[in-house]
Amino acid sequence: MEAVRATVEKIRNLEVKGARNVAIAALEVLKVVAKETKAKNREAFLDELTEAKNMLFVSRPTEPLMRNAVRFVLNTVEGSEKKKVPDLSKIVTSGSKKFMQELEASQERIAEIGAKRILDGMVVFTHCHSSTVTYLLKKAKQNGRIFEVICTETRPVFQGRITANELLELGIKTTLIVDSAARSFMKADIAIVGADALTSEGNVVNKIGTATIALVAREARVPFYVVSELLKFDSATLWGEYEGIEERSRDEVWEEAPEKLVVRNPAFEVVKREFIHGIICEEGIIPPQLVMEIAKQKYPWVF
């Protein structure tokens, strides 16, 4: 399990960032576990995978995509009638590949749908970094749309700089602003953000500051869209659990803060569904109230 522990530490320390990258890292380490297994029978092999799953699940609280990726692979193995360990190991590899193909197809479909909302001359406002949002904007650019983007720096880790660099590489006019200037620059035509989790109530969990952007967008009468794969649905919220909100080190905010000063650093927050114009997902642009129903139709195994 050394490989799993190393991956867990990388996730915790933000060496691996972004829901998609965290899910990929988890799938890759499951393949390592399957390849290097010492298990002699099916039961022992499943025990090893379950141990790896439990370690990965507690690495970060706000990672339903990663949990669903791991859940998919384990369900595939458990649903197999294979008894021999080498055969089960191959199923881990093929299951991981199938999940990634589904994820990539979802991103492509989301980009095709969402890019249609980007029109010539638009100003797009975004927050934090989302590979799915960036891909959507790339698709709009490839479709010949001429637009510009305003992105926040996204303190305290400055993920907005990643967004800015990627957009510049795509040849998209981009303006970076400090988070507190959001209202002053909410002269946009549309606001688009990613998501880390979707809940049963239709609320969205995303990077801290997203709820402020949603509030500002509503006050400025700018439509606020969330871009997300339905695979980010957290089924635990259906049974009364709250999506975990990770709180990170105070040093990210102020490395040499006075010892007696209380410094809070939540990494995520909840955006209430009433502030969301629509969720752009692989099944179309849907109202947040329908997220659970559509996710259940598309991915019943998540439940």
Which of helix, strand or coil describes residue 225? Answer: strand
- b/e sequence 39-66, b meaning 16+ C-beta within 10 Å: beebeebeebbeebbebbbebbbbbbbb
**pLDDT score for 9:** 94
Q: What is the pLDDT of residues 62-109, one digit of tens each?
A: 899 999 999 999 999 999 999 999 999 999 999 999 999 999 999 999
| Host domain of residue 33 | 2-108
Q: How far apart are CA 281 and CA 292, in angstroms?
A: 12
Work out the pLDDT band at 240, boundaries 50, 70, 90.
Answer: confident
Residue 244: what pLDDT? 78
Q: Name the catalytic one among 151, 179, 189, 196.
A: 196
CATH of the domain at 237: 3.40.50.10470
Is 87 labeled as catalytic in the residue annotation?
no
Question: Are 131 and 217 contained in the same domain?
Answer: yes
- 38-66, pLDDT tens digit by residue? 999 999 999 999 999 999 999 988 899 99
**188 with 88, same domain?**
no
- Non-local (6+) Cβ contacts of 182 within 8 A are 125, 127, 152, 212, 213, 216
Residue 17, pLDDT score = 82
Residues in the chain: 303
Percent of the chain surpassing pLDDT 90: 89
State how far the Cα of 99 lies from the Cα of 146, in Å rounded to an integer: 34
| Known active-site residue 196 | yes
Exactly one of 128, 151, 234, 281 is catalytic; name it: 128
What pLDDT does 216 receive?
Answer: 98
Q: How far apart are CA 75 and CA 13, in angstroms?
A: 28
Mean pLDDT of 190-196: 97
Residue 146: pLDDT band (50, 70, 90) is: very high
Mean per-residue pLDDT for 97-126? 96
The CATH number of residue 15's host domain is 1.20.120.420
Do residues 99 and 148 share a domain? no
What is the pLDDT at residue 60? 86
Is 243:64 a contact under the CB 8 Å cutoff?
Answer: yes
pLDDT by residue (tens digit) across 259-280?
A: 999 999 999 999 999 999 999 9
Which three-class secondary structure state does DSSP give residue 280?
Answer: strand
What is the distance between the alpha carbons of residues 131 and 175, in angstroms, rounded to a whole number? 18
Same domain for 31 and 167? no
The Cα–Cα gap between 200 and 295 comes to 10
176 and 234 housed in the same domain = yes
- Residues 6 or more apart whose Cβ sits within 8 Å of residue 252: 156, 157, 265
Nearest CA to 46 out of 108, 101, 91 is that of: 91
- Strand pairing report for 173-177 and 190-193: unpaired
Please identify, among 68, 86, 108, the residue that sits at the C-terminal boundary of a domain: 108
